């Protein structure tokens, strides 16, 4: 791999894709492709759209990430999350390009209470998870050298996510609540960008499934509470400092079933790189300071 690689990022306007583009552009030639440049649903165009570029590596951070939309649009979910990634994997394999595909903790049923390794059996509880799992399998069959990185509860500077919903609600309302009986590990997109780059630059030959998230795990309620504690310490004018618990089963807005416990075990990542991810609390504190203490230019 050349020191300065040509890297295509798909899903370049998404939460993760935008972070990869921003963090990697100084040292690499990044080709940022959004939906308007390459639409996963137009499967017949994928090969020629990618053929227009010379590249050493490709990261697929695109896909339908709304769990409930996948439930109501299963065919769209299957194309975006499974059959289109298979085509992309085949193109990368034929060109000898490094392929990193992003997957999810939602491939697990969530029934257990211990962190899931890459060898743990995957039994998705909904169509999002099922299509992502199918995508993993199709990608690795079409491109056995690919790396499939499962991540969980992404948050990042480029697009709002759960902690922003909690903080923004607490800035205008005296009531905030969040689900207390669902657990996973938050993942800071900035950290993930640094971890993934290892697998393009130094560890190009690592392949198969890999779990990536910040250390530790939490419920949505405790995650939100931690976000409010940090925001309060930073002096944000919150109207409440407490996140009240609600049960997942009483949450009528959900269409798809959510898996309760999908904590990822990152031991394989540490074995491969020597890196132990920092805790999600440390990452969250850095994020909230960076996002909410920004001064107007």
Ligand X SMILES: NC(=O)c1ccc[n+]([C@@H]2O[C@H](COP(=O)([O-])OP(=O)(O)OC[C@H]3O[C@@H](n4cnc5c(N)ncnc54)[C@H](OP(=O)(O)O)[C@@H]3O)[C@@H](O)[C@H]2O)c1
- 68-97 binders of ligand X (CB under 6 A): 80
We find the least distance from the C-beta atom of residue 129 to ligand X, in angstroms, to be: 10
Beta strands in 79-174 (DSSP E): 98-104, 147-151, 154-155
We find the least distance from the C-beta atom of residue 275 to ligand X, in angstroms, to be: 20
Does position 180 bind ligand X by CB under 6 A? no
Does position 65 bind ligand X by CB under 6 A? yes
* Token digits of residue 213: 């998230």
How far is 62 from 81, CA to CA, in rounded Å? 8
Q: Are residues 228 and 243 in contact, defined by beta-carbon separation less than 8 angstroms?
A: yes
How far is 277 from 128, CA to CA, in rounded Å? 26
We find the least distance from the C-beta atom of residue 163 to ligand X, in angstroms, to be: 11
Encoded one letter per residue, x for contact with ligand X by CB under 6 A and - for no contact, window 26-45 reads ---------x---xxx----
In this chain, which residue has its C-beta nearest to ligand X? 14
We find the least distance from the C-beta atom of residue 87 to ligand X, in angstroms, to be: 12
Q: Is 60 helix (H, G, I), strand (E, B) or coil?
A: strand
Out of 106, 128, 223, 287, the active site residue is: 128
Does position 152 bind ligand X by CB under 6 A? yes
Helix axes of 220-233 and 162-172: crossing angle, nearest 10 degrees: 60
We find the least distance from the C-beta atom of residue 225 to ligand X, in angstroms, to be: 19
Output 62 or 243, the one with its CB closest to ligand X.
Answer: 62
Q: Is 128 an active-site residue?
A: yes
Task: Give every CB contact of residue 196 below 8 A, 6+ residues apart in sequence.
Answer: 20, 59, 100, 149, 212
Nearest one of 22, 23, 10 to 198, comparing CA atoms: 23
- Of 62-70, 167-175, 214-222, 282-290, the segment contacting ligand X by CB under 6 A is 62-70
Nearest one of 187, 153, 193 to 12, comparing CA atoms: 193
Q: Which residues are catalytic?
A: 128
Q: Residue numbers of the site for ligand X (CB under 6 A)?
A: 11, 13-17, 35, 39-41, 61-65, 80, 102, 104-105, 132, 151-154, 159
């Amino acid at each position: 791999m050349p020191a300065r690689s040509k890297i295509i990022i798909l899903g370049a306007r998404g939460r993760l894709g935008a972070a990869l583009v921003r963090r990697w552009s100084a040292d690499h030639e990044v080709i940022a492709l959004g939906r308007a440049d390459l639409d996963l649903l137009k499967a017949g165009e994928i090969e020629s759209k990618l053929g227009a570029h010379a590249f050493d590596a490709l990261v697929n951070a695109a896909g339908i990430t709304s769990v409930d939309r996948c439930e109501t649009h299963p065919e769209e979910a299957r194309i975006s999350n499974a059959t289109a990634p298979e085509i992309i994997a085949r193109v990368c394999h034929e060109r000898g390009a490094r392929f990193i595909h992003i997957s999810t903790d939602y491939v697990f049923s969530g029934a257990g209470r211990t962190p899931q390794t890459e060898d743990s059996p995957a039994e998705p509880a909904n169509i999002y998870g099922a299509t992502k799992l199918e995508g993993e399998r199709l990608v690795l069959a079409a491109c056995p050298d690919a790396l499939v990185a499962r991540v969980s509860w992404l948050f990042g500077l480029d697009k709002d996510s759960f902690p922003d919903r909690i903080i923004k609600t607490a800035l205008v309302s005296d009531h905030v609540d969040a689900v207390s009986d669902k657990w996973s590990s938050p993942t800071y997109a900035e950290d993930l960008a640094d971890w993934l780059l290892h697998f393009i630059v130094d560890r190009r030959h690592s392949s198969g499934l890999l779990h990536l998230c910040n250390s530790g795990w939490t419920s949505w309620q405790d995650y939100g509470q931690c976000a409010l504690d940090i925001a309060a310490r930073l002096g944000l004018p919150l109207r409440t400092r407490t996140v009240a618990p609600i049960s997942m089963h009483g949450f009528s807005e959900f269409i798809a079933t959510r898996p309760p416990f999908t904590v990822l075990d990152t031991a394989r990542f540490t074995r491969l790189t020597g890196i132990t991810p920092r805790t999600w609390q440390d990452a969250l504190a850095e994020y909230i300071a960076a996002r909410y203490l920004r001064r107007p230019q």
